């Protein structure tokens, strides 16, 4: 049998779950080679990312090393540099020296996800924090603790207000869960910082729509809005962030406020490399047929955030969520398996089961199978469902333990930085110099 090379680009839900299904389908086929390329060596469970920023969970507990999830897939830690659909090659860079390799493929799976879209707004990209990666969540956590420490000092008394002002751009799931967690973290930590009063704290959400969490409908959106406002969060609807500097933020209504922390969750854009592909795209996403295959290039599949997948029932594209990416991965794997065996492929069919959001203080909102839930029951559903979806029993146990301890002990206020002192040999014989270096972990 002629060996077949299946190459998967991307290590998110779509890429990793595609590889997992392919391993099961081809477990008895030694002639099938599966390779996955990703710039990180772990799968990040993004629904719990805001809990890292708020010190509710240990950072390592929501990530799974790809090598522990995939048993026979070759994993390559590297960056995709070029995709040639005509010659069926992919160029990647990896290693400390960023040297290149050309990978040949018979089947290609595009699961490269998306990046943050700043819409070219002045100063936003340079001054805003994002919430897309584990490093982003750790950077935000460090920023919160840094500002608490600084605002508690006498010399920063005049800057306490700007230091304790936090603005989130975007009222979707990422933005609301982030502001809710940040609000809880800051206000619960004030007892350890006597120099900061609750009056100094200001939390703001700038949302371009009429009501936050539009995916859940106006009723649940208004409920979440009322709960957050009751806890001191300002909800600015029909408002956008237009400009940012290190010390100020300007809104679309013309108001400028003093603020040192802008968290941007207001938009995403597909991976930039997809723009160079000679295939049909819709708003940057690769268009696929019902089988999730790129029509112009048989043997190439796309899924997840980087694919435009039309839902025939609604006439709208499937949303770029984890629950869809996981189901799309199963369809892609089955269709590659069918293509290898010369059998017919199956179309992708799936409707959203539900959507949930945690809005702080053991409160949530949820819409599952068309039924609406709010309050404690929705928060309990959020934790139960996502804990069940978290890969590997070990990680489930660690997260459950973190949540249990969080009920008893205060949030950890340790800034996750590291200082190292090392002796560097001098180039002059017989001499040595002591060099102190500090590195920050984000």
3-state SS string over 15-64? HHHHHHHHHHHCCCCCCEEEEEEECCCEEECHHHHHHHHCCCCCHHHHEE
d(CA 208, CA 239): 5
Element (H, E) at 230: helix 218-230
Q: Is the predicted pLDDT of residue 309 greater than 70, yes or no?
A: yes
The pLDDT of residue 313? 86
CA distance 325 to 331: 10
Separation CA 422–CA 440 (nearest Å):
16
- Asked if the model's pLDDT at residue 432 lies above 60, the reply is no
Contact indicator for 176, 212 with CB cutoff of 8 Å: yes
Residue-wise pLDDT tens digits, 261-281: 999 999 899 999 999 999 999
Task: Please state the CATH superfamily assignment of the domain spanning residues 124-266 in this structure.
Answer: FAD/NAD(P)-binding domain (3.50.50.60)
pTM above 0.95, yes or no: no
Domain spans of the chain?
Answer: 4-39+78-116+269-341, 124-266
Report the pLDDT averaged over residues 180-195.
96
Asked whether the predicted pLDDT for residue 436 surpasses 60, the reply is no
Q: Which two tokens stand for residue 396?
A: 């489930």
Contact 249, 241 (CB under 8 A): yes
Longest Cα pair distance anywhere in the chain, in angstroms? 78
Contact 14, 304 (CB under 8 A): yes
254 Cβ contact partners less than 8 Å away, ≥ 6 residues apart: none
CATH of domain 4-39+78-116+269-341: 3.50.50.60
Say what percent of the chain tops pLDDT 70.
Answer: 94
The pLDDT value recorded for residue 423 is 52
**In CATH terms, are 4-39+78-116+269-341 and 124-266 the same topology?**
yes
Question: Do residues 183 and 231 touch, judged by C-beta distance below 8 A?
Answer: yes
């Amino acid at each position: 049998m002629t060996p077949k090379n299946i190459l998967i680009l991307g290590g998110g839900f779509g890429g990793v779950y595609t590889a997992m299904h392919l391993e099961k389908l081809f477990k008895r086929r030694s002639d099938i080679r599966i390779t996955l390329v990703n710039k990180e060596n772990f799968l990040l469970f993004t629904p719990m990312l805001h809990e890292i920023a708020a010190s509710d969970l240990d950072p390592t507990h929501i990530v799974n090393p790809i090598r522990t999830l995939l048993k026979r897939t070759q994993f390559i830690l590297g960056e995709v540099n070029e995709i040639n659909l005509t010659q069926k090659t992919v160029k990647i860079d990896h290693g400390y020296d960023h040297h290149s390799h050309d990978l040949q493929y018979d089947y290609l799976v595009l699961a490269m996800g998306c990046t943050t879209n700043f819409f070219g707004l002045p100063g936003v990209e340079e001054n805003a924090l994002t919430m897309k990666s584990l490093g982003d969540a750790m950077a935000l956590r460090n920023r919160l603790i840094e500002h608490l420490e600084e605002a508690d000092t006498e010399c920063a008394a005049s800057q306490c207000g700007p230091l304790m002002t936090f603005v989130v751009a975007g009222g979707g799931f990422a933005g609301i869960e982030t502001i809710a967690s940040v609000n809880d973290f800051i206000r619960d930590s004030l007892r350890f910082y006597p120099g900061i009063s609750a009056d100094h704290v200001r939390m703001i959400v700038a949302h371009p729509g009429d009501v936050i969490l539009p995916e859940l409908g106006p009723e649940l959106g208004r409920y979440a809005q009322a709960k957050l406002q009751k806890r001191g969060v300002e909800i600015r609807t029909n408002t956008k962030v237009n400009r940012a500097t290190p010390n100020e933020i300007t809104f679309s209504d013309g108001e400028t406020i003093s603020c040192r922390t802008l968290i941007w969750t207001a938009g995403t854009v597909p991976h930039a490399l997809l723009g160079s592909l000679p295939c049909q795209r819709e708003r940057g996403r690769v268009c696929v047929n019902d089988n999730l295959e790129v029509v112009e290039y048989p043997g190439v599949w796309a899924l997840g955030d980087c694919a435009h997948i039309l839902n025939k029932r609604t006439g709208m594209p499937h949303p770029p969520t984890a629950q869809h990416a996981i189901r799309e991965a199963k369809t892609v794997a089955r269709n590659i398996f069918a293509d290898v065996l010369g059998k017919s492929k199956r179309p992708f069919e799936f409707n959203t089961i539900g959507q949930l959001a945690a809005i702080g203080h053991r409160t949530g909102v949820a819409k599952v199978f068309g039924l609406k839930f709010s309050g404690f029951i929705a928060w309990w559903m959020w934790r139960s469902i996502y804990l069940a979806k978290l890969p590997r029993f070990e990680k489930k146990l660690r997260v459950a333990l973190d949540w249990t301890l969080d009920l008893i002990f205060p949030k950890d206020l340790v800034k996750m930085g590291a200082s190292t002192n090392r002796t560097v040999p001098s180039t002059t014989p017989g001499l040595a110099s002591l060099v102190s270096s500090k590195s920050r972990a984000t």
